[in-house]
Amino acid sequence: MTVQTFIPNGAKAASENTVTQPTHTSDVSIKKLYIETQGCQMNEYDSHRMADLLGDSHGYILTSNPSEADILLMNTCSIREKAQEKVFSELGRWRKLKDKNPDLVIGVGGCVASQEGDNIQKRAPYVDMIFGPQTLHRLPQMLDQHNAQVEKPKKDKIKLVDISFPDIEKFDFLPEPRVEGFKAFVSIMEGCSKYCSFCVVPYTRGEEVSRPLDDVLAEIAGLAEKGVREISLLGQNVNGYRGETFEGGICTFPELLRLVAEIPGIGRLRYTTSHPLEFSDELIQCYEDLPQMVSHLHLPVQSGSNDVLKAMKRNHTIDVYIDKIAKLRKIRPDMHLSSDFIIGFPGETDENFAETLQFIKDLDFDHSYSFVYSKRPGTPASDLPDTTPEQVKKERLAQVQKVIKQSSIEKTDAMLGKIERVLIEKVSDQDPNILIGTADNTRLVTFVGDATWVGRFAEIEITEIKTLNFVYGELLNLEPDVA
């Protein structure tokens, strides 16, 4: 069997599984596609685009049942070792499906494919297509090529592997996103050039590349026309956005936010993820000027110890982070803050950890994605001596999560009697007079209202706290539709 990169056009080199959900799947004659997504929101976004793409090119529709699918795609994550091992255990299950149905096509994409393409071929030779985060737009051609060689003897088959980094061409080949509901993600940049010492992302997704400004604005305007009211801008470091403008200039992230806020229909703006280093005064100013921006920020810090931050190559100190949040809270005193933490980084002492815990208490985080450090092959941190016992790391992590959970409970409790701006998203399944929406701080809010209000924003006074993420309220004001 010849091993060859498919389309030789390359340039350079939290996580729970989700299944990209079908909208309809009843006709047995229609070809069905099953996608399992691991890892981050970027992967979620990519999986939806893969479904759109194969739907448009080959008429595939999504199924949530892998055993009735004609093609199985896995969009993988390699951020931690556990995530990566999951790929091979799941592929083992898929192999059994292929034993029963030899026509079944199996494709592996995402960051594990990008980093471990060779290994996947060796450990799982029954995988038909391997593609990376930057080449998923070539899936239809890859599938055609696969279909064209199905009848060929094994020795003449070309292995379909494309894990190259062809800059940003991906977006030029993706169809218009399909809209479901009132919220949408829009990817504005790919990759990361920060090279934190523990992280595989720059190697698996490539360096930072921004989508041109006009493409981003056109996509958002299209979504708004189809009823989308809340946009989440996506990228590994959205505040590193440097999108080329039509005139050949460069648009920065704060400038982009201002332009997006002008698009009729867009009533709420979120973004994830951003880096503290590029969390500029211009960006903070947007919180004063743009009411569409939510009072909720996810700003990864990773550690509350300067020694650890230095070893992580985060390139900023704790004071820098604290100052920026203080400025932000001056403008928005109710700002809800969430972050990522890595606990048990090589060399993290008891003292360093105590600093992190104190930092978490001082900053009053509402939420976190926190994990024990996972050694990733090929990253600089993988060479650092690491003598802290795993059990100690786990205990430290449990402490962090306990403190943040408590703070989260207190934040929900503090909503009682306050007024929240809510995007009304749906009517309750149980009662047609009850509406459900989300507050800025992502809590679900239910209240009595009219089904015709769905898709609009409302001011709701919170009257009862039900659970950590779920509160009741009463309508104070229904905003006019922003379109």
| C-beta of residue 264 within 8 angstroms of C-beta of residue 409 | no
Closest contact distance (angstroms) between CB of 392 and ligand F3S is 23
Helix (H) or strand (E) holding 81: helix 81-100
Residue 220 or 238 with smaller CB distance to ligand F3S:
238
What is the C-alpha separation between 26 and 243, in angstroms, rounded? 42
**Of 37, 134, 236, 388, which lies in the binding site for ligand F3S, with binding defined by CB under 6 A?**
236
The site partner of 173 among ligand F3S, ligand SAH, none (C-beta below 5 to 8 Å per kind) is none
Closest contact distance (angstroms) between CB of 14 and ligand F3S is 12
Closest contact distance (angstroms) between CB of 279 and ligand SAH is 10
| C-beta of residue 72 within 8 angstroms of C-beta of residue 106 | yes
For 322, phi then psi, to 5°, come to -60, -45
The site partner of 195 among ligand SAH, ligand F3S, none (C-beta below 5 to 8 Å per kind) is ligand F3S
The site partner of 371 among ligand SAH, ligand F3S, none (C-beta below 5 to 8 Å per kind) is ligand SAH
CA angle (474, 478, 480) in 5-degree steps: 170
**Residue at shortest CB range from ligand SAH:** 340
Site for ligand SAH in 422-461 (CB under 6 A): none
**Of 342, 363, 400, 439, which lies in the binding site for ligand SAH, with binding defined by CB under 6 A?**
342
Site for ligand F3S in 169-208 (CB under 6 A): 192, 194-196, 199, 201-202
Residues in the chain, how many? 483
Residue 56 or 278 with smaller CB distance to ligand F3S:
278
**Of 57, 64, 280, 374, which lies in the binding site for ligand SAH, with binding defined by CB under 6 A?**
374
| C-beta of residue 461 within 8 angstroms of C-beta of residue 468 | no
**Of 129, 142, 199, 209, which lies in the binding site for ligand SAH, with binding defined by CB under 6 A?**
199
Site for ligand SAH in 31-70 (CB under 6 A): none
* DSSP 8-state symbol, 259: H
Closest contact distance (angstroms) between CB of 83 and ligand SAH is 10
What is the C-alpha separation between 177 and 63, in angstroms, rounded? 18
What is the C-alpha separation between 141 and 169, in angstroms, rounded? 15
What is the C-alpha separation between 337 and 372, in angstroms, rounded? 21
The site partner of 166 among ligand SAH, ligand F3S, none (C-beta below 5 to 8 Å per kind) is none
DSSP lists the bridge partners of residue 372 as: 343
Site for ligand SAH in 260-279 (CB under 6 A): 273, 275
Residue 83 or 439 with smaller CB distance to ligand SAH:
83
371 is a contact residue toward ligand SAH (CB under 6 A): yes
Q: Which residue has the tokens 């590029």?
A: 278
85: Cβ contacts below 8 Å, ≥ 6 apart: none
> Would you put residue 467 in left (φ > 0), alpha (ψ -120 to 50) or beta?
beta
| C-beta of residue 311 within 8 angstroms of C-beta of residue 197 | yes
Residue 196 or 397 with smaller CB distance to ligand F3S:
196
| C-beta of residue 146 within 8 angstroms of C-beta of residue 104 | no
In b/e form, how buried is each residue of 369-390, taking b as 16+ CB within 10 angstroms? ebbbbbebeebebeeeebebee
237 is a contact residue toward ligand F3S (CB under 6 A): yes
**CA-derived radius of gyration, the chain:** 23
Strands 32-37, 18-19: parallel, antiparallel or unpaired by DSSP?
antiparallel
**Of 236, 239, 303, 338, which lies in the binding site for ligand SAH, with binding defined by CB under 6 A?**
236
**Of 86, 137, 211, 275, which lies in the binding site for ligand F3S, with binding defined by CB under 6 A?**
275
**Site size for ligand SAH (CB under 6 A):** 18
Residue 255 or 340 with smaller CB distance to ligand F3S:
340
Extract the tokens encoding 457: 């924003």
Closest contact distance (angstroms) between CB of 194 and ligand F3S is 4
The site partner of 60 among ligand SAH, ligand F3S, none (C-beta below 5 to 8 Å per kind) is none
The site partner of 421 among ligand SAH, ligand F3S, none (C-beta below 5 to 8 Å per kind) is none
In angstroms, the Cα distances linking 106 to 130, 168, 369, 370 are 9, 25, 31, 32
324 is a contact residue toward ligand SAH (CB under 6 A): no
Task: Give me the sheet containing 230-234, strands edge to edge.
Answer: 183-187, 230-234, 268-272
Closest contact distance (angstroms) between CB of 202 and ligand F3S is 5
Enumerate binding residues for ligand SAH (CB under 6 A).
79-80, 192, 198-199, 201, 236-237, 273, 275, 300, 302, 340, 342, 371, 373-374, 376
Enumerate binding residues for ligand F3S (CB under 6 A).
192, 194-196, 199, 201-202, 236-237, 275
